[in-house]
Amino acid sequence: MKLYCLSGHPTLPCNVLKFKSTTIMLDCGLDMTSTLNFLPLPLVQSPRLSNLPGWSLKDGSAFLDKELKECSGHVFVDSVPEFCLPETELIDLSTVDVILISNYHCMMALPYITEHTGFTGTVYATEPTVQIGRLLMEELVNFIERVPKAQSASLWKNKDIQRLLPSPLKDAVEVSTWRRCYSMQEVNSALSKIQLVGYSQKIELFGAVQVTPLSSGYALGSSNWIIQSHYEKVSYVSGSSLLTTHPQPMDQASLKNSDVLLLTGLTQIPTANPDGMVGEFCSNLALTVRNGGNVLVPCYPSGVIYDLLECLYQYIDSAGLSNIPFYFISPVANSSLEFSQIFAEWLCHNKQSKVYLPEPPFPHAELIQTNKLKHYPSIHGDFSNDFKQPCVVFTGHPSLRFGDVVHFMELWGKSSLNTVIFTEPDFSYLEALAPYQPLAMKCIYCPIDTRLNFIQVSKLLKEVQPLHVVCPEQYTQPPPTQSHRMDLMVDCQPPAMSYRRAEVLALPFKRRYEKIEIMPELADSLVPMEIKPGISLATVSAVLHTKDNKHILQPPPRPVQPTSGKKRKQRATDDIPDCKVLKPLLSGSIPVEQFVQTLEKHGFSDIKVEDTAKGHIVLLQEAETLIQIEEDSTHIICDNDEMLRVRLRDLVLKFLQKF
Amino acid sequence: MDPESSRLLPALCAVLADPRLPEPDDTCLEKLLDWFRSLAAAGPSLRLLQEHPCLVELLRRSAEGPEPSRPVFAFSLRLAGVLSAQESCFHLLQAKLLPLLFGEQGAPGREAWMAPTVRSAWIQGLHSLAQHPGALGFLADLGAVDRLLTLQGDPSLFVVTAAGQLLVHVLGLALHNCGPPCGPPLDPQWPLLASSLLAQLEEALQPASTPQLLQALGVLTNAFTSCPAPWAPALWGRLRPAMTCLLEGQPLQAPHALGDLLLAVARSPEVVVDLGPWEMLALVLGRLEPSQGGQLALGVLQLPECPQALRAQAFGVLLQPLTCVLSTSTDAPGLQELPPSAVGGSASLDLLLASRSACVGLLCCALARLALLPPLPWRPSPWPQAFLLGAVVAVLRSCNGHVPISAAGGRLCAALVGCERVQRAALDLLGALAQDAGPPELVLEVCGVLLEHVDSPDSSPTVLKKAFQASLTWLPHADKKPHPCGLQVPAQLFLPELLQVLRKRLCSPSWEVRDSGLEFLTQAASLWAGQADFRQMLQASEVPPLARQLLRDPESYVRASAVIAVGQLSSGGLWAHPGDQQGSPLEGLLDMLDTDPDAFPRRAILQVLTAWLRDTHGPLAAHPEPLLARAFQAAGRDPDWEVRARGLELAREFLVQTLGRIGVPCPYVPTPLLDTPPADTQALHPACRTRLFEFVFPALFDYDRPVARAACELLLLLRAQTTTCATPPQAGDTPDPATVEAALHCWRTGEAGRPLGELVPQAVLAVLQALDLDDLRGTLADGSDHAEKSPLSLLQDMLAAAGAQGHNQVDCY
């Protein structure tokens, strides 16, 4: 069993598992942190951004000044943002049989894989994953396509030139493989290859393995996967949560007894407790608004925003914020808010039960009804008419490189009354803010990551007890900035195996058994003999039939009676296994003392018994014969006296069982 | 005893003595015994027995008759003890009954002895009885000491405890009775009973006999606290050899019990200093693991007089876990101040870091014990303030995940990170340490770590509350000039930063956090309202308007805290911010009193109004009457009795101010008021204008007794004032008695009519005279269940229960 690791990002994994002649891709996350190296795409012409000075090398050569711009001491690529794809060279991706998707954040690279690698297999995902994943992709494509940029920078990617650039551009990895965003057409084509699955549904892959999605508790429709054959079980844990938020709770019990547990998607901010962060979020939001400032929340259109809106629903009245408008701006805002209300079966129990009342499971429906929350596809159109300040705006993209958020950063950045509150943990907020410096508005970092932390992982592993744990290398050591925090790493016995991007891992896993079915008529013909209480044996002569990784023992064809012709007889002997009468199989052991007594009864005398390392030697001195009795063999050694040998053999056989 | 009870008592005794009747209820028997106990305390028991021979008969039948029910038998034993506590009665019963009840052929010889309640009653009976010299002889004849020592191994914990207590009591009584010791001071002549008891206890002080050893140590520990003072040195002198022998045993047996005994000896001031148990305490401390020795070390440090060396040793034991914590840090302030025993070495560190629970447990205990030391006048000297501050800061930083880079530091951090228990204990200690300051750089670090905890989103509400409390104690120290070296939190910024964080905390979605923030604000405002710096900083922050906003909080507790905070800010004059356009919050509070659906905020409002009224410069100083009229009206119709009771407090305060000398002098009342001339009817005019009496008179008949009592007390004081000092009412001014009676009827029944119209002073005085307040006070003083609680009721109940049982049996038949 081998694991090909195509992504180095622990929460946006992309791994390929080769297991029992199947090739399974586990998630295809897209690392979007590469976009932080690019200038933001403003929705409205920004004089500040368009007038940034070009960057020139130390020697004064300015041939890169069209591609690279300088802003507050940082250098940015002035081009359409590009993304860092999973490795495509490590394994031939056209051989991938299936792709299993865990959650909507981990499928963003899907169009690159399904549309450009010769992939012909099937993708499995739950319905909310697909629907919300589609929204995320749609939003991404929309954000980028609606601000067309003629320029595409490539000079800086030249390895010799990249070396000369300042950090972080200098240290960016695999820039040559960075790609522009896919198109909506590619998205549609990729999504058409997805087959929908439900929790605990068993999916047979070529008869060899069975895959099952389990609820992971992180997001709507998010799953962990069990990949198992009859005798082996691999668990793939990706983006799970034990907190009581909106999704169905995590199914931990089904992960028990795994041979290998592949652990990815843990919290990116292990030191921040989500509850505390929500409190910080609300407090800072209220403080800003009370002072007459606006609050900007860069966020994805789905996920944590549902929980934030729910918290605010309970909080705004108590904080005296009932008159403050909340705006949610995204091309998919409407769909996201509505989708969340219809996936009742994927929600936690409390929310499910609301549906039967009937009430909308999420309270944002009421916020919309009472006009406290308004949503718009973009800042253009209705929004510009309704816009009132002070207000709270939820909008994308959290990288601050594209989407409506760019406009609000430009609009509100100059006033210290305003606040930007970062809740998504995927991007470093300082890097995200770099092209907006100098910035007067307050910045609050409240990353809310509900995925498992290391304490929860430790408890989970104790509970499910996998034989081996495999995880990204980042999880096997404390974070570099807090190297003393030994509690911020996966701690298990035996120690977890780690992987990094572009590594191939042979998993410590031996296949020992294979299941074979016996046809009923063959089973009927078997005559078991009990050799020990509870253990019966039978000899089997059969034909092993193997197809689609299923093995069946069929009765051997009856020997065809030679009717005529030499040719047919010849064929019969070719086809039919050798069916001549076999010697019976023996079992049991020979008690030496009784055997000697038997020999004496049968007229042998002068018998000597010697003990050897492996058993005994019975010496018939007179007959010059030696009987060697060992655990699994008995030899009678006598010189040219076949009669004697047969006599002795029969005496030996008396002590053994035959079948 | 009242005649009716006297009449019923024989029947009850007959019922109790009749084994055919079902067992009476345990609670009833307990109440009955309490009654007899009170009767015995009130008068001679002998008379009680003579007047009620049925009691002797009950005891006789229990002692001689066929096996009575166990509860009745146990009751008889305890009753006999209670009655025999008086010597005259003891002599009456001693001749026959007491040996039959307590002797070999009594309880111990019966089958009922198997029941722990009977054994326990036997001990309790003897304990009650052992009050005079005659009892000692009886106990000796009974062989009670031997039996009590045996009962120390009883399976019932109650029996064991009671037996131990009786042994201690017997020893104390024996020593007390024989007067001061005779003979050589260290080897006096011991009374026989005490001597035999001590001999047996000494015998139990053998290293091999663990259960007996523990019990003997327990008895001796208690004996030292209760034995007559002159005997303490002799007792210690007698025990010393056995104790020395015990301390030489390997391994040390029952170290904690041993420590307790030694501490009890050390607490006994009569034990001669050179005979003191100091060496032994040092020995025990030295032989205990650091994790075990904390309690003993604390006990030693709490002793006012103790050799310096022992104190240093004990202090070292308490400090050791913190030394380990600081040893993981690169910067360890104040280590040179420590006693040598505090430096543990790597073995102690390993022990500390052995497991998370061990580490947390040990640190919590150490921190909690150290927090008890700063207030002690005899606390260890020199006091390692710098070390302690450094260690507590290091512990708190570890809990927040910040530690110096070292392997042990990493392990410590992994054990402590996010541990609320340790945070709470450390913050308590930090608060206790605030009575001294410490090096300026450390004070700044303390301020920094406190800010960190107040600000951290991961601080639980309890930790936050403790961090706020500790901040309050440290704020005065932060008022120092900043240290020249670059420090994280310049001291003069502590308060502004704290106010910044408080601002955020007052907006928290968690109500506990908002509540703690408001409490902190109230305390800070009450402590420093007079300080110009504080006023300026508070007014510059947005905290006061935020606090006012929280008057509309959805959580009632928070609204109540906001009311108190707003009240405090108002009395401190802290609203005077130029930008604050809202003016005084008084109107808002009175609106809340009318409209708030929860009782807590309404109670708080009346509390604030009372405080404001006491404060002559407070918001109520000018023209209080219309506002008070609203308050009394609202309080009068409030459904919550506590609100009404607090309304009466406000009424009383107002009367104090208007009438001057009324009632007990109140510490808050300015002295000139106490010298005001006697009240006349004119003085009642302000109270009448506020309609105070329309609130107080109906409150007299309130269904909730505390309200009625408070109203009654208030009116009694008023009556005393007015009847002695007021001018006699003029004929024609006063309402006629029928109208007064009608008014009283209205108030009593809660009807809305006002036969007296608007109450004028004359009408008030007429009502006061018409009311029999003394009788009312008597009625109100009785609990509503006083009839049910009376002995007569108890006797009737018990008899009825027995009778009812009988009837039922007949019915069934």
Which of B329, B417, B463, B507 is the best mutation test for A, with the most CBs of A within 10 A?
B507
Interchain contact, A291 vs B552, CB within 8 Å? no
- Neighboring chain A residues of B456 at a CB cutoff of 8 Å: 276
* A308, closest residue in chain B (CA to CA): B509
Confidence of residue A445 (pLDDT cuts 50, 70, 90): very high
B409 and B461 co-located in one domain: no
A479 — contact with chain B (CB < 8 Å)? no
pLDDT digits (tens, 9 = 90+) for A238-265: 999 999 888 999 999 999 999 999 999 9
**Can you give the pLDDT at residue A451?**
96
B404 and B520 co-located in one domain: no
Interchain contact, B509 vs A315, CB within 8 Å? yes
Q: What number is the average pLDDT over the span A17-32?
A: 94
B615 and B648 co-located in one domain: yes
**Can you give the pLDDT at residue B405?**
61
**Can you give the pLDDT at residue A355?**
86
Confidence of residue B435 (pLDDT cuts 50, 70, 90): confident
- Neighboring chain B residues of A271 at a CB cutoff of 8 Å: 401
The pLDDT of residue A35 is above 90: yes
Which of A484, A488, A491 is the best mutation test for B, with the most CBs of B within 10 A?
A484
A274-445 under CATH 3.40.50.10890, yes or no: yes
Q: Is residue B541 part of a domain?
A: yes
B558 and B690 co-located in one domain: no
Q: How far apart are the C-alpha atoms of B650 and B644, rounded to whole Å? A: 10
Confidence of residue A573 (pLDDT cuts 50, 70, 90): very low
A630 — contact with chain B (CB < 8 Å)? no
Interchain contact, A318 vs B406, CB within 8 Å? no
Confidence of residue B273 (pLDDT cuts 50, 70, 90): low
CATH number reported for the structural domain that contains residue B493 in this entry: 1.25.10.10
The pLDDT of residue A211 is above 90: yes
Interchain contact, A314 vs B513, CB within 8 Å? no
Closest residue to A318, CB basis, from B410, B505, B553:
B553
Whether the CB-CB separation of B131 and B170 falls below 8 Å is answered with no
Interchain contact, B413 vs A487, CB within 8 Å? yes
- Neighboring chain B residues of A293 at a CB cutoff of 8 Å: none
Q: Is residue B448 part of a domain?
A: no
Q: Is residue B491 part of a domain?
A: yes
B460 and B606 co-located in one domain: no
B164 and B239 co-located in one domain: yes
Confidence of residue A429 (pLDDT cuts 50, 70, 90): very high
Q: Collapsing DSSP states into helix, strand and coil, what is residue A197? A: strand
Q: How far apart are the C-alpha atoms of A64 and A154, rounded to whole Å? A: 10
Which of A487, A489, A490 is the best mutation test for B, with the most CBs of B within 10 A?
A487
Query: Nearest CA to CA, how far is A479 from chain B (Å)?
Result: 13
- Neighboring chain A residues of B410 at a CB cutoff of 8 Å: 484-486
B645 and B751 co-located in one domain: yes
**Can you give the pLDDT at residue B673?**
41
**Domain coverage including residue B160:** 141-287
CA distances for A47 relative to A43, A144, A410, A433, A512, angstroms: 12, 19, 10, 18, 68
Q: What number is the average pLDDT over the span B743-763?
A: 76
> Side-chain half-sphere of A125: how many Cα atoms within 13 Å?
31
Interchain contact, A276 vs B554, CB within 8 Å? no
- Neighboring chain A residues of B509 at a CB cutoff of 8 Å: 278-279, 282-283, 311, 314-315, 318-319
pLDDT digits (tens, 9 = 90+) for B117-166: 989 999 999 999 888 888 888 888 888 888 888 888 888 889 988 998 89
Residues of B with CB under 8 A from a CB of A: 401, 403-406, 409-411, 413-414, 417, 456-459, 503-505, 507-510, 513, 542, 546, 549, 552-555
A282 — contact with chain B (CB < 8 Å)? yes
From-to residues of CATH 3.40.50.10890 in chain A: 274-445
* B401, closest residue in chain A (CA to CA): A485
From-to residues of CATH 3.60.15.10 in chain A: 2-268+451-506
Residue B175 host element (H or E) = helix B157-177
Confidence of residue A306 (pLDDT cuts 50, 70, 90): very high
B576 and B654 co-located in one domain: no
Q: Is residue B376 part of a domain?
A: yes
Confidence of residue A460 (pLDDT cuts 50, 70, 90): very high
CB proximity list for A477: less than 8 A, separation 6 or greater: A489
Range in A131-145, A223-237, B577-591 the model is least confident about: B577-591
Interchain contact, A279 vs B456, CB within 8 Å? no
The pLDDT of residue B809 is above 60: no
Interchain contact, B417 vs A276, CB within 8 Å? no
pLDDT digits (tens, 9 = 90+) for B468-526: 999 988 887 665 544 444 333 455 678 888 999 999 999 998 899 999 999 999 999 98
Q: Which carries the bigger pLDDT value, residue A484 or residue B425?
A: B425
- Neighboring chain B residues of A477 at a CB cutoff of 8 Å: none
Q: Which carries the bigger pLDDT value, residue A294 or residue B779?
A: A294
Interchain contact, B509 vs A482, CB within 8 Å? no
Interchain contact, B508 vs A314, CB within 8 Å? no
CATH number reported for the structural domain that contains residue B220 in this entry: 1.25.40
Q: What number is the average pLDDT over the span B588-610?
A: 93
Whether the CB-CB separation of A32 and A108 falls below 8 Å is answered with yes
Query: Nearest CA to CA, how far is A401 from chain B (Å)?
Result: 29
A323 — contact with chain B (CB < 8 Å)? no
Interchain contact, B507 vs A319, CB within 8 Å? yes
- Neighboring chain A residues of B504 at a CB cutoff of 8 Å: 280, 283-284, 287
From-to residues of CATH 3.30.310 in chain A: 586-658
CB proximity list for A484: less than 8 A, separation 6 or greater: A478, B403, B404, B405, B406, B409, B410, B413
Q: What number is the average pLDDT over the span A504-529?
A: 88
B185 and B269 co-located in one domain: yes
**Can you give the pLDDT at residue B345?**
59
Query: What is the number of domains present in chain B?
Result: 4
* B413, closest residue in chain A (CA to CA): A485
The pLDDT of residue A103 is above 90: yes
Q: How far apart are the C-alpha atoms of B668 and B614, rounded to whole Å? A: 6
Closest residue to A486, CB basis, from B411, B456, B505:
B411
pLDDT digits (tens, 9 = 90+) for B2-44: 888 888 888 888 888 887 777 788 888 888 899 888 888 888 8
**Can you give the pLDDT at residue A572?**
44
Interchain contact, B405 vs A487, CB within 8 Å? no
Q: What number is the average pLDDT over the span A278-297?
A: 93
DSSP conformation letters of A234-269: EEEEES---S-SSBPPP--GGGTT-SEEEEE---S-
Confidence of residue B776 (pLDDT cuts 50, 70, 90): confident
Range in A177-191, B102-116, B645-659 the model is least confident about: B102-116
* B512, closest residue in chain A (CA to CA): A279
- Neighboring chain B residues of A284 at a CB cutoff of 8 Å: 504, 507
Q: How far apart are the C-alpha atoms of A66 and A155, rounded to whole Å? A: 10
Range in A195-204, B103-112, B665-674 the model is least confident about: B665-674
Q: Which carries the bigger pLDDT value, residue A619 or residue B43?
A: A619
Range in B324-333, B367-376, B504-513, B730-739 the model is least confident about: B730-739
Kindly report the pTM of this predicted structure. Answer: 0.78
Residue A535 host element (H or E) = strand A535-537
The pLDDT of residue B665 is above 60: no
**Can you give the pLDDT at residue A297?**
97
Confidence of residue B666 (pLDDT cuts 50, 70, 90): very low
The pLDDT of residue B808 is above 50: no
B149 and B228 co-located in one domain: yes
The pLDDT of residue B445 is above 70: yes
Q: Is residue B802 part of a domain?
A: no
Q: How far apart are the C-alpha atoms of A22 and A97, rounded to whole Å? A: 7
pLDDT over 70 percentage in chain B: 85
CA distances for A427 relative to A42, A56, A356, A399, B422, angstroms: 19, 28, 39, 6, 34
- Neighboring chain B residues of A482 at a CB cutoff of 8 Å: 401
**Can you give the pLDDT at residue A523?**
92
Interchain contact, B509 vs A276, CB within 8 Å? no
B614 and B753 co-located in one domain: yes
Residue type, A5: C
Q: Is residue B810 part of a domain?
A: no
Q: How far apart are the C-alpha atoms of A25 and A16, rounded to whole Å? A: 4
CATH number of A586-658: 3.30.310
CA distances for B237 relative to A375, B168, B187, B246, B278, angstroms: 88, 18, 7, 15, 14
A591 — contact with chain B (CB < 8 Å)? no
Interchain contact, A286 vs B507, CB within 8 Å? yes
Residue A611 host element (H or E) = strand A607-611
CB proximity list for A487: less than 8 A, separation 6 or greater: A454, A455, B413, B414, B417
Chains A & B: contacts with CB separation below 8 Å: 71
ipTM score: 0.73
Q: How far apart are the C-alpha atoms of A13 and A24, rounded to whole Å? A: 13
Q: Which carries the bigger pLDDT value, residue B667 or residue B240?
A: B240
Q: Is residue B695 part of a domain?
A: yes
B539 and B650 co-located in one domain: no
Query: Nearest CA to CA, how far is B415 from chain A (Å)?
Result: 8
**Can you give the pLDDT at residue B811?**
42
A276 — contact with chain B (CB < 8 Å)? yes
Q: Is residue B35 part of a domain?
A: no
Confidence of residue A329 (pLDDT cuts 50, 70, 90): very high
Candidates 3.60.15.10, 3.50.50.60, 3.40.220.10, 3.40.50.300; correct CATH number of A2-268+451-506? 3.60.15.10
Q: If you average pLDDT over every residue of chain B, what do you get? A: 81
pLDDT digits (tens, 9 = 90+) for B195-210: 888 888 887 777 666 6
- Neighboring chain A residues of B409 at a CB cutoff of 8 Å: 484
